[in-house]
Every structure is written in C-alpha cells, then in structure tokens.
Amino acid sequence: MNEVKVIEIKKSVFAENEKDADALRVELKNKGVCLLNLMSAPGSGKTTTLIQLINRIKDKIRVSVMEADIDSDVDAVKIKEATGVPSIQLHTGGMCHLDAEMTRQGLDNLDLENTDLVILENVGNLVCPAEFDTGATCNAMILSVPEGDDKPLKYPLMFTVCDLVIINKTDVMPYFDFDLERCRKNILMRNPHATIISVSAKTGDGMDALAEWIRGKVNVSELRC
Amino acid sequence: MNEVKVIEIKKSVFAENEKDADALRVELKNKGVCLLNLMSAPGSGKTTTLIQLINRIKDKIRVSVMEADIDSDVDAVKIKEATGVPSIQLHTGGMCHLDAEMTRQGLDNLDLENTDLVILENVGNLVCPAEFDTGATCNAMILSVPEGDDKPLKYPLMFTVCDLVIINKTDVMPYFDFDLERCRKNILMRNPHATIISVSAKTGDGMDALAEWIRGKVNVSELRC
C-alpha cells in the first residue's frame, strides 16, 4: 500500500475565517491555482467520483488532492493508488468541517507551483462544512440517489453555497424512490444558478460531462477558475 | 396533511452540557421515561425505520417522537400521519446537533406523564451529534448499506457512543459493495458491546427483531430503560 502524508490540522478562531478565506482566494488566484471544495454526506461516493474524474482530466490539468477526515487515511491512499496524482490526508482531530486556516495548512504541504487544480475532499457532513468558507474558488457537492431527493429541503445552506451539484449513483435509481425532476426542482429552489450533473461513478455514466465542466472551470491557459 | 408542532430551540452553553445531560437523565428515570437518541447520516432511512418500528410497538408502549431538523418539518408530519403517535418538530436554526438543553426544550412540549418511550431523531450528521450528550438513556444509530461498510473507520466516535447500530437498506445489498461481516467487525472494533441489528425498513425484514430489542429496553413494568 502507498504511504501518504498525514497532516494534523488545527482549528482557527471562527471570527477570523471569512477574512482568511478571502485572503486565501486572492493568493490562489495570483498563483493560478483553482481550489475545488467537494462536500457531501458520508458515503455519497466522493472518493470514487474523484478517482473517475481525475483519471479523465489529469493528462491536461495538473491535479492535487487533499483528503480531510477525522481519523483514517484510507481515502488519500486510494486516490494515490488509483490516479497517481499527489494526495495528502488532513486529519481534523474530531472537527466536523474545514475552515480557511485548516485548508491553508494543507495547501502549504503541496507543490502549488506545479498544480493547476487542488481538490479538497471535505469531511462527510451536509451541515457544518457549508457554514465555513474554505477559501475555495468553487464549491461542489455530491448528493447520492440512496439519500433521497428531499435533501435540499433539509440541508438548505449546503445547496445554496454550491456552484455544482453532482447527483451520484444513478445506476441504482430503479431500486430507490428517487425522482430526478423533483430533485432538480428542490436544488434549484435553493440555488437557481447551480449546475446539476448526474453521474454513476461506478459505471462511468455521465463522468465525461463532469470532466468537461471541470475543464471549463480550470482554464489552463489562464491557470485559474 | 396533518399539522405538527414546531419548536424553535436555542443552543445552550457548551461547557454546561454534560452536567445538563446527567441531570436530564436522572429526571427522566424518575419519571419512568426512556429517551432513545437516534442518529445517522442524511438519507439513511431514520424516518422510515421509525415508522416501521413504532407501528410494531405502539400497542404496548406509549411512544412520542421529537424530530430534529435544521429547517423543514416533513419528518414530523410523516411520523404523525403514518403512526398516529404524538410527534413534534424541533428546529435547530442551522445547528448541526442537539444538546441536553435543546432536548429538554423539546421534552417540555410532550406529555411525559403518558409516555414510556421518547424517540429523538437527531440531525442527520455522523460527526457532531456524537459529541453532545442529549441526556438520552440509549444511543442508537443507523448505517445504511449504500453508505459503505467502512464508516466505523471514518466516524469513530459515533460508533463508540452507540449502544445499538441498525444496518438498514439490506434489500439493496446485491447492488453495493457492502460486506456485512467486515462491517460488523469495524463496528465492534469501535464498540465491542454494541448490539447490531440488520433491517430493511422498506421490506420490513429484520424489523421484528429490532422491535423486540426496543421492547426489552423499555421495560414497561418498571417504566425505564
């Protein structure tokens, strides 16, 4: 098994976060680095989706991954083994989200000079990560079919702050009471500007469209989102 | 559609929580009321499981339900319509968990004199609710098959604090890479004393065993857990 770097990150003072996030965003823009903050509930398929995505874009975009988890480092190892791109693990020490300072501590451990896109896999949680600006240039989230089409009603802020909503596990749609149109309506009620892309990270269905969207965001000629 | 009571609850001071929780537990014991705190990730099937469970036990146990949600009241309405037992909605105002004081605010709106078992459906979140003692006599959580058998590795505290782990959505096991034995092993690594019951709330499979376990906890002759 590949070894991956594990960084123990510390919580910053809450009140400072918005200022820190804005400053980090400016710095990243100046460095030509796009930071994608990927959020979801536990078990929605973030890591599998990332592997499929990265293998579709890594020939043209230099990608690095920061995996945030409370304790384990299984995701960072999986990403590294399956894609070969630089991948580090951030341990939050029990914290339920990442803030801008914690994100910066992770970024300090990456070679940003040789990176176009950093993907931050946030802690699996539909509540807290939505409340803390990480300094990301884009916010995205995954909603998986088994979770149900009513989640935008129950976790409003998460759907409001995301530019992109990925609906994952469409391959099991026949086995669940999930109405794609009702889901789209619920998402757009929270955020009329959200882009919605349906995929099955397991079968690969829809993954090309997702890769295309990400490529469009990371304009390699200008090296920014 | 049935109307349900909606209570806007406020956050108490964090440091006081453990003291509050212990005091609440003693009060509930003196009143002969068992409080079951049910936790899970979003979309694991808490509400559907509760409906199936309550309809199996309500003839012998007087049940009331408190549904915690950030915003909506769809769950409390569903429970009331499908079971007929008293059901109230707690709005957390964006909070990611319930603490003992918030739980008490909910209990104050129930008729505890005529209740044997209060089931608290906590906010869908595998991180924060595990950190805050609600004053419950029993902690339980639902892990659904689509979330994956590795969740005890990633959310250690949740599995450590739960007396009962319900594995739900076993009907879709053939469509997911979920190993029941590996899952049991991961759960017992976190908590060797955990009871594990597999169910499909959709088909009803395993629900009688779950109802039996709950009945055993709520000893009606002594009216306590």
In this prediction the ipTM stands at 0.86
Q: Does B6 touch chain A (CB under 8 A)?
A: no
Residue of A nearest to B127 (CA): A96
Judged by CB atoms closer than 8 Å, whether chains meet at B74 and A125 is answered as no
Model confidence pLDDT, tens digit, residues B88-142? 999 887 888 999 999 999 999 999 999 999 999 999 999 999 999 999 999 999 9
For domain B5-217, the question of CATH label 3.40.50.300 is answered with: yes
- Higher pLDDT, residue A89 or B224: A89
Residue B42, burial from CB neighbour count under 10 angstroms (0-12, 13-18, 19+): buried
pLDDT exceeds cutoff 90 at B172:
yes
Residues A93, A98, A102, A107: is their CA dihedral positive or negative? positive
* CA pair distance A94, A41, nearest whole angstrom: 16
φ, ψ dihedrals at B35, nearest 5°: -115, 115
Q: Does A70 touch chain B (CB under 8 A)?
A: yes
* CA pair distance B141, A122, nearest whole angstrom: 22
pLDDT exceeds cutoff 50 at A224:
no
Q: Does A189 touch chain B (CB under 8 A)?
A: no
Q: What is the mean pLDDT of chain B?
A: 91
Residue of A nearest to B168 (CA): A146
Judged by CB atoms closer than 8 Å, whether chains meet at B169 and A150 is answered as no
Residue B174, burial from CB neighbour count under 10 angstroms (0-12, 13-18, 19+): exposed
Residues 6+ apart with CB under 8 A from B158: B39, B126, B127, B129, B130, B141
Model confidence at B80, pLDDT cuts 50, 70, 90, reads: very high
Report pLDDT for B224: 43
Highest mean pLDDT among A11-20, A71-80, B191-200: B191-200
CA angle A30, A35, A40 (to 5 degrees): 160
pLDDT exceeds cutoff 80 at A2:
no
Report pLDDT for A13: 53
> To which CATH superfamily is domain A5-214 assigned?
P-loop containing nucleotide triphosphate hydrolases (3.40.50.300)
Q: Hey, how many other C-beta atoms are within 10 angstroms of the C-beta on A106? A: 22
Q: What is the Cα gyration radius of chain A?
A: 16
Model confidence pLDDT, tens digit, residues A160-196? 999 999 999 999 999 999 999 999 999 999 999 999 9
- Higher pLDDT, residue B83 or B71: B83
Residue A204 exposure: Cα atoms within 13 Å on the Cβ side? 4
Query: Distance from CA of residue B93 to its chain's centroid?
Result: 20
pLDDT exceeds cutoff 70 at B217:
yes
Contacts with A, B 117-146, CB within 8 Å = 123-128, 131, 144, 146
Judged by CB atoms closer than 8 Å, whether chains meet at B156 and A128 is answered as no
Model confidence pLDDT, tens digit, residues A29-66? 999 999 999 999 999 999 999 999 999 999 999 999 99
Report pLDDT for B69: 86
Report pLDDT for A220: 52
pLDDT, mean of residues B12-28: 85
CA of A50 vs chain B CAs: smallest distance (Å): 16
| Interface contacts A/B by beta carbons within 8 Å | 105
Task: Please give the model's pTM, rounded to 2 decimal places.
Answer: 0.90
Using an 8 Å CB-CB cutoff, list chain B residues near A157: 70, 94
Q: What is the mean pLDDT of chain A?
A: 91
Judged by CB atoms closer than 8 Å, whether chains meet at A43 and B172 is answered as no
Report pLDDT for B1: 47
Q: Hey, how many other C-beta atoms are within 10 angstroms of the C-beta on B138? A: 18
Q: Does A175 touch chain B (CB under 8 A)?
A: yes
Q: Which of B11, B46, B95, B155 to mutate to test the interface with A (most CBs of A within 10 A)?
A: B155
pLDDT exceeds cutoff 80 at B190:
yes
The domain ranges of chain A are 5-214
Tokens standing for A137? 């240039």
